[in-house]
Amino acid sequence: MLRRLDPRRASGRRDLERSQNSGGRGRSLSSAREVCRSNKSPWVCLTCSSVHCGRYVNGHAKKHYEDAQIPLTNHKKSEKQEKAQHTVCMDCSSYSTYCYRCDDFVINDTKLGLVQKVREHLQNLENSAFTADRHRKRKLLENSSLNSKLLKVNGSTTAICATGLRNLGNTCFMNAILQSLSNIEQFCCYFKALPAVELRNGKTAGRRTYHTRSQGDSNVSLVEEFRKTLCALWQGSQTAFSPESLFYVVWKIMPNFRGYQQQDAHEFMRYLLDHLHLELQGGFNGISRSSILQENSTLSASNKCCINGASTVVTAIFGGILQNEVNCLICGTESRKFDPFLDLSLDIPSQFRNKRSKNQENGPVCSLRDCLRSFTDLEELDETELYMCHKCKKKQKSTKKFWIQKLPKVLCLHLKRFHWTAYLRNKVDTYVEFPLRGLDMKCYLLEPENSGPENCLYDLAAVVVHHGSGVGSGHYTAYATHEGRWFHFNDSTVTLTDEDTVVKAKAYILFYVERQAKAGSDKL
């Protein structure tokens, strides 16, 4: 349950106002750096206006709260000391308010609106600092040819237009997927072309909201927040974008991802695509799904793969069809089943699992073709997976084989790097060689003669990489190509990279885009 803020907890505003004339935010941030040498994610205490690093850095703001709870020795606490418990802090970056006593973000204010006044004061400080910083950067760009944000292309200098995503607390799994999807042009352009939704009206129109897990607001749109995030990522902003509104919606509609624990990027991607698909099926901003699809003739013409009902842009781009063929080994009865898919999960063959790097000499390097062959090869089902034969009227030993009946426009390949043992989930850290262009999928098709040569060739658009040893820990980053250049997305940091660096990555998820025009390339 949300607590009402005590007005005295917002008394830090007066201290902040006084500090503005004597260095203001810079003085407070320097005090934070004195503790842990970090100015990342500063949180200001609304009781005493001291600033410490937030709970997702080194947790000194929480320690400040805990220290304030220690009873004073040799002195009897006064009523004022008893109530001033330094309970409420504000994130100086997002201006959201956190109560340590409630152990949750809060949205209510005092009767005098003191918390909002603190927000406005911090925003004024930030705006003035931003203006000064913008003038400084402009001079730097004019006078320096070695600026890391500039790139020479055909003799001319252009700025890197990619924008990073802030880490909201172990949300690198979400950031890596969002950056990858933002670089799949057809998918991204569709959402950016959608009409905006105004979810708020009246007195709250145009005003920023501050959400909490306990908030009872059901008026949320994943499609709208996803659209706004994609629009923000390629506007050329030098400041990282905070996807907190999208993350709030994720908390609302995907309970598995509530909290700030590390999550599996592949699992998040599947949940995200599934919920986008479902919301688009139900219509968006009062416009029917069919009307939206008609805006893009190239999508509506290829809407043949349906998952959970009518097709949407999700299935039109990522949707493919598998044929699952099972044969009874006793009577020879054959059973065929067609299954739609949005991605393919590939095992790394066991003979390669001890090979950790590309340069190891003990045996051949595992390739993406090895993983695809393992997926589509004929296999005999073991005793735990006996097939119910309708002719034999009982479960029998059988074989199983997958064929790809229809390839998608964007082929998403998930390498199964995590597997369960008796007690824990281990990571397969094997390097898997993958092509940047010319991935030929023709040999895995059920009817390859019905597909043109170009329709089976795919070029790499993005790669998600997991760094670390376990699914519940580590870090996610992404590589993606945009207008012929490769970028490395590491939360709020975006850097230019090259193809040699990309091919050395230990891929977790690969996004391949169907080649549209003829171009010379080396096939896989």
* Positions marked active-site: 172, 475
Of 145, 115, 139, the C-alpha closest to 45 is 115
- One-letter amino acid identity for 497? T
- One-letter amino acid identity for 295? E
Query: How far, in Å, CA of 24 to CA of 285, rounded?
Result: 43
**Contact (Cβ atoms closer than 8 angstroms) between residue 97 and residue 106:** yes
Task: Count CB-CB contacts under 10 A for residue 101.
Answer: 13
Of 374, 385, 381, 384, the C-alpha closest to 399 is 381
Separate counts of helices (H) and strands (E) for the chain: 15, 25
Q: Rounded to 5 degrees, what angle do the CA atoms 133, 139, 140 make?
A: 85
**Contact (Cβ atoms closer than 8 angstroms) between residue 510 and residue 434:** yes
Task: Count CB-CB contacts under 10 A for residue 484.
Answer: 6
Query: How far, in Å, CA of 49 to CA of 248, rounded?
Result: 27
Query: How far, in Å, CA of 166 to CA of 168, rounded?
Result: 6
Q: How far is CA 420 from CA 197, 383, 386, 423, 425, in A?
A: 43, 19, 22, 8, 4
Q: With the CA atoms of 403, 404, 405 and 406 taken in that order, what torsion angle do they form, in degrees rounded to the nearest 10? A: 180
Tokens in use for 287? 């416009």
15 torsion bin: left (phi>0), alpha (psi -120 to 50), beta (else) = alpha
Query: How far, in Å, CA of 166 to CA of 172, rounded?
Result: 9
H/E stretch holding 494:
strand 493-497
Tokens in use for 149? 């944000």
- One-letter amino acid identity for 37? R
